[in-house]
Structure 1
Amino acid sequence: MRTERKLTRLDRVFARLDREPERPAHIDVPRMTRHRIVLFASTLAFYVAIVWAVVITSWLVRLDWQVMFFRPYQQWAEIHAFVDYYVVLGQRGPTAVMVAAWLGWRSWRQHTLRPLLALGVSLLLLNVTVGAAKLGMGRLGPHYATSIGSNEMWLGGDIFPSGHTANAVVTWGILAYLASTPRARRWLSALSAVTSLGVGLSTVYLGTHWLSDVLLGWAAGLLILLALPWFEPLIARSEAWIFDLRDRWRERRAGTVAVPAAPVEAPVLLKPRPTPADNEAAARDTSTAARDTSAAARSARGAPAYMAPGPHTARAERTPVTPAGSRRPPHTDRMTRGGSPTARPLTGG
């Protein structure tokens, strides 16, 4: 016997997830198809080409300097306030919170943790790959440039590739990656591409990034989205491990509130229905038992309880009981029975 405990908010969330243990049939998991492999290889080649063009200080670096000297924030100063707000769509903190809230609702409705786990894996890959590239190449930004026309590489900076652009590609592109229908995936892919390119151009407008930074950041984010199908088995194993951990935690918590079990009563055996012959035999047995009981009771009432059992003696063998005296008061005027009458004196003449 166990006492019922009050469900917590976490229990209600997992209870919602347990209502449908299988993922809905209309939601397919993207696979690493040949088309996706070709796109991944093409994007990786574009990534390497951008890095090589910056390293050798090619025409791309000269274009970076020309855009910086153009000073877009002075040419179109009237949109400066809008761009300051729009660039927030590429900041990791606010965008991750917004997208995680949406995917959390999706997880609730679809009874699976896959959307949240996919977002976590993509952000982890983003931090590792983009962060390593930033620190490894160490490029300085436009505001900290030291020599005109140089590539500003390996000088301790952290600007190449653009983190805002890569974060916008991954954060908003994950919505397209997790879309339920092909039509929704196409529309969300186009929307995320436009949003991420707009965020990248906003950083160029504000003068915080080179144009080549934006191109490399866009390629870095796209590589992460294209490589996510390779991590789907890891996501599935992580989801199963989380649910298994939940089950063990729930069993351990339920064991702490258990009370001693009540003793189990012996099972009651059902007797067959008695027949008329059985009823008559039972009635005879009952009457015989009643007569024996009444006879025993009468015999118990007839014998005094204080007399000890012993052998009977004849009347002649018993000791005669002589009364100590008569209970009647003495009468002097009466004669004793069997005696001679006493002479009375004569009086008179």
Structure 2
Amino acid sequence: MRTDQILTRLERVFARLDREPERPAHLQTPRMSRHRVVLLGSTFAFYLAIVVAVLTTSWLVRLDWQVMFFRPYEQWPQLHAFLDYLVVLGQRGPTAVMVAAWLGWRSWRQHTLRPLITLGVALLLLNVTVGSVKLGLGRLGPHYATTIGSAELFAGGDIFPSGHTANAVVTWGILAYLASTVTTRRVLSIVSAVVSLSVGATTVYLGTHWVSDVLLGWSAGLLIMLALPWFEPLIAGVEAWVFAKREAMRRRVEAGTLPAPVAAMLVPLLSAGGKWRPPAPAGAPAPAAAATPAPVPAQTAAAAAATGHTALARPTAHLSGRPHLVRPERLPGAPAGSRRPAHGDRAGAARAAARPAAGGS
């Protein structure tokens, strides 16, 4: 009788997780170096200069109007269809889903929540900083401008700074920030810079943002990326808190203090990323540690000694706590009785096989 072990989908996931490597030791958390501090200060000064230039209706506002009257989407209409798709790389919803999927896979591979928590912290900072400035200044976009030459501030708009541009800097820049090697970090930094510059220029082409909106969006996103090392202790604390809560829930599941439906729902989450297994239910037979050979009957041993053969113990089937698939000896609907021919038929068949097939008398 052949037995095949059945593995459920969840058990296959557990087996995969057990073979995954632990968090690589060479991963280093970025620190706030002197070079980063200088870049942060320079970017912040540039940010303030753009805000002051718009508030004072300086030459930057005049440039905004000149580009708006130039109408790039009318100068190069053949690019419109392509740039309509390219600008999606700056929308928060689609980009956050794509990047979160990649970082979630990295978290699963490396048994750490740092990539996902870092993304969440960066997006939270982006929403708070950019959203507050948008609502505070209330600037109208080019399509809703009312007074030529005006900065269109405090008019109930939400266009300054450009959210598309800032989101492109943060969402794609987080991949470079979390890169595990120097070469990968440099390549991803270049890619994120090209994507964010392209998205910002596309919004100006489509007429949805002023030039100054894009400049301030680039600065806002870069400020968040440069300031992220200051939030690394917070990220580590959140990760440690989540793992501590998971261990506490594991102990409650093992102690049986949770209702059975709740424990059944929590088992997949508590078992992911480690070798912990839920306790066996009460009354379930414990799996055998090792299969012991079955004793050889006395008649079999005596017959083996008379014929000169060694009596071997028949190995027993592998015992496991999981269900097994047993192959039936007979298909349903097959006639009853033995499938072997009678003894006389077997003897006749043996004599027929010994007779030569052709030739001879």
- Structure 1 and Structure 2 fold alike (TM over 0.5): yes
The answer to whether structure 1 residue 252 and structure 2 residue 248 are counterparts is no
Aligned partners of 1:185, 1:99: CA distance in 2, in Å?
A: 16
Secondary structure in 2 matching 1:109? helix
Unaligned segments of structure 2, at least 5 residues = 1-6, 261-280, 285-361
Pair 1:192–1:254, CA change in 2 (3 A): same
Q: Write the deviation string for residues 1-58 of structure 1: whole angstroms up to 9, x where unpaired.
A: xxxxx9995996799499766x422111100011100000000000000000000000
- 1:145-160 matches, cutoff 5 A: 145-160=145-160
Q: 202-211 vs 248-257, which deviates more?
A: 248-257
Letter in 2 for 1:218: W
Q: Deviation digits for residues 55-105 of structure 1, max 9, x if unmatched?
A: 000000000000000000000000100000000000000000000111111
* Cα distance between partner residues in 1 of 2:15 and 2:137: 45
- In structure 1, stretches of 5+ residues that fail to align are 1-5, 262-349
- The alpha-carbon distance between structure 1 residues 84 and 183, as it changes in their structure 2 partners (threshold 3 A), is same
- After superposition, give the CA deviation of every residue in 1:283-335 in whole Å (9 maximum; x if it has no partner): xxxxxxxxxxxxxxxxxxxxxxxxxxxxxxxxxxxxxxxxxxxxxxxxxxxxx
Residue 292 of structure 2 corresponds to: none
What is the CA-CA distance between 1:162 and the residue it aligns to?
Answer: 0.1
Residue pairs, 1:38-187, within 5 angstroms: 38-187=38-187
Counterpart Cα distance in 2 of 1:73 and 1:91: 20
CA 1:252–1:168 in structure 2 vs 1: closer, same or farther (change >3 Å)? Answer: same
- The residue type equivalent to 1:222 in the other structure is L
CA RMSD of aligned residues (A): 2.4
Q: Per the alignment, in what secondary structure is the counterpart of residue 53 of structure 2?
A: helix
Q: Deviations over 1:112-143 (max 9, x none)?
A: 11111100000000000000010011000000
The number of aligned residues is 256
Give the match's secondary structure for 2:101.
Answer: helix
The whole-number CA distance in structure 2 between the counterparts of 1:15 and 1:134 is 46
Change (3 A) 1:13 1:152: farther
Q: In structure 1, what is the Cα distance between the partners aligned to 2:9 and 2:239?
A: 21
Three-state SS of the structure 2 residue aligned to 1:209 is: coil
Contact persistence 1:17–1:108 (CA under 8 A): no
Tell me, in whole angstroms, the C-alpha distance in 2 between the residues paired with 1:28 and 1:163: 30
Measured in 2, the distance between the counterparts of 1:14 and 1:119 equals 28
Identity of aligned residues (%): 71
TM-score (norm. length: structure 1): 0.69
How far has the Cα of 1:190 moved from its partner? 1.0
Q: TM (normalized to structure 2)?
A: 0.67
Contact 1:99/1:172 (CA < 8 Å) preserved in 2? yes
Alignment of 1:1-349 (within 5 A): 16=17, 23-256=23-256, 259=282
Letter in 1 for 2:70: F
Q: Which has the larger radius of gyration?
A: 1
Contact 2:21–2:109 (CA under 8 A) maintained in structure 1? no
Task: Report Cα offsets for 1:225-261 as digits up to 9, x if no partner.
Answer: 0010000011111111111111111221222276499
**1:176/1:206 Cα in 2 relative to 1: closer, same or farther (>3 Å)?**
same
Distance of 1:71 and 1:201 partners within structure 2 = 13
- 2:149 counterpart letter in structure 1: G
Cα distance between partner residues in 1 of 2:66 and 2:208: 15
Tell me how far apart the structure 2 counterparts of residues 260 and 178 of structure 1 sit (CA, whole Å). 48
In structure 1, what is the equivalent of residue 354 of structure 2? none
